[in-house]
Amino acid sequence: MNFKDLILQGIPSTLPEKRTYDPSVNHAPKRKEILNAEEKNLALRNALRYFDPEHHTTLIAEFKEELETYGRIYMFRFKPTYDIYARPVEEYPGSCLQARAIMLMIQNNLDPKVAQHPEELITYGGNGAVFQNWAQYLLVMKYLAQMEDDQTLVIYSGHPMGLFPSNTNAPRVVVTNGMMIPNYSQPDHWEKFNALGVTQYGQMTAGSFMYIGPQGIVHGTTITVLNAGRKIAKNKEDLAGKVFITSGLGGMSGAQPKAGNIAGCITVCAEINPKAVHTRHSQGWVDEVCTDLNELTNRVNLAKQNKEVVSIAYQGNIVDVWEHFDEEDLFVDLGSDQTSLHNPWAGGYYPAGMSLEESNDMMANDPEEFKIKVQESLCRQTTAINKHTKKGTYFFDYGNAFLLEASRAGANIYKNNKGEFVNSKTFKETDLENAAFAYPSYVQDIMGPMCFDYGFGPFRWVCASGLQEDLDKTDQIATDVLEKLKLEAPEEIQSQLSDNIKWIKNAKANNLVVGSKARILYADAVGRTEIAKAFNKAIAENKIGTVVLGRDHHDVSGTDSPFRETSNIYDGSRFTADMAIQNVIGDSFRGATWVSIHNGGGVGWGEVINGGFGMVLDGTVEAENRLKSMLFWDVNNGLARRSWARNKEAIFSVKRAMEQEPKLKVTLPNLVDDALFSE
């Protein structure tokens, strides 16, 4: 059978040959033993319901082996034999263009060049899954190939519940991931119910089919590092010769050294997994690899002396780097961390003093001891960072739950009113929500007030033709639109527009594409709408092919995350999730092609609710109407909430939006004089 026939087949009626485990692929670690004997039988029953009873005798033994060996049932036998990557949209079967575009996006998320653990259907973050198993993938692709323009595919945590009649204006796909009852949303609940095969962790853009490789976070990290550099600049100097230390080269974290190069600093990024180091080095995302701390120190000092722009991967543990640089008195200008601390007990963070293999064995076979080792390591890392910041290092949490997990580990990650580093034991448990971390979240210091409150966030698109020439044309279209908008834009957003014009002009030269022909930039509602309208016009004039629009969930409106996206909300509402829920509901009836809502994005299960969308542009008038309606809402929903929280930049932005659209009427806050509380 050819590719289209295999898609239309879905789950094959004849069992394919059992696949051998490929040790050369970067596999997910074994998940912890969490099910009792009765629950293991339930997990097997849940897995077998995808298959004809005539195959159950064969498959039950195989699935039992997978559950015992990996802690999950992935159904490796059913992984397709064809290559998985983003093909041109015309190569997918089916009569519905929107459905074919979604198939393209799904395959891009599972492309081995893009995905962190492709065999286990995990795109990034250690556990950010597109599907729980290969049967779900096969069924979803079949349903999409069968879909008509007035049907909607409903997906519960990777499982396709089925095609339902709807209408042409409804989303083609609605995705929910990890929507647990609140009292069942602790980390171990994910382990248990995921092992049972009834829920999954979709991360942010993995379970939304909108991940475009590390390019997305290259852009965000570039902006973050540039602005962090501006915060520490004494005389408006750039980052030449300054050192940025961080960790993680896996999924999204792999973008950090490339961003450091674009920002113009010396980047040291530690990673314990040699496969991840090799992947990023071979892709050109990191310049050099070092395995010895003394050699690393000498190399960094040389780079400082020569003011080089260079990125260096240290194959080892980040804790050792922080401690060694302190001992050698090597000054660090900027510091952060991008290990997957939203997932600290299952491969997201590897403790100091243990090898990768030792850690993987312990997390599977002695999870309680592994947790102790992780928390000990976090305390060591925090102690070392504190020593550096006393010397003048600017350290910020980069949204990976470092501050949160370090606090839970008992690290001295808080500061009291005397400026002393203290741990959570110093505070009453009831006061922890109001306790001051010693270091800011990058959203509090940079992205919130400088980007999100002005409506600027990660707008992205994919050229469904797969043609480089189409991507080049869209780059130019976006540049032209932003340059035109900049001519009349208010002073408050001139720097945001300038940064993104510079970014998009250099995007191709920076060789950012991995997988689909995709691009990202930061834009507000006006910028997103005008760029999308220009794309749609170009499609109508046959200048480019179909375009898929989307964004990261890490944006103005899509995510309620008290320790990241909404950490600069100070009216007490940062622990609520109304914005994210309203966002996905509003997107769904304003024209999105597909929508998703997840529990547990970048900072951890139970810590965040986040939503995303995808929108297919086909050059029609209907597509233009949808994009104008949906993109305006998708941004201004968040601006309204941020404005109500009394964020002055958001108040400015909402007032401007109401001037541009008379039908927008937002409740504005009345500000209270601080002097009323002075007595």
Q: What pLDDT, in 10s, does the model give residues 223-268?
A: 889 889 988 999 989 999 999 999 999 866 778 999 999 999 999 9
Cβ atoms of 282 and 307 within 8 Å: the answer is: no
Rounded mean pLDDT of 601-610? 89
- Check residue 679 and give its pLDDT: 64
Residue 424 has pLDDT above 90, yes or no: no
- Check residue 430 and give its pLDDT: 44
Q: What are phi and psi of 272, to 5 degrees?
A: -85, -20
In DSSP terms, 209 is beta-bridged to: none
pLDDT in tens, 359-385: 999 998 999 999 999 999 999 999 999
Cβ atoms of 261 and 226 within 8 Å: the answer is: no
- Among 627, 465, 634, 640, which Cα is nearest to 530's? 627
Higher pLDDT residue, 477 or 563? 477
- Among 457, 407, 409, 394, which Cα is nearest to 434's? 407
- Check residue 252 and give its pLDDT: 66
**Length of the chain as a residue count:** 679
Angle at 671 between CA 667 and CA 673, to 5 degrees: 165
- Check residue 427 and give its pLDDT: 61
Residue 589 has pLDDT above 60, yes or no: yes
Crossing angle of helices 648-660 and 621-644, in 10° steps, is: 140
This prediction's pTM: 0.87
659: burial class by Cβ within 10 Å (0-12, 13-18, 19+)? exposed
Cα first-last separation, the chain: 80
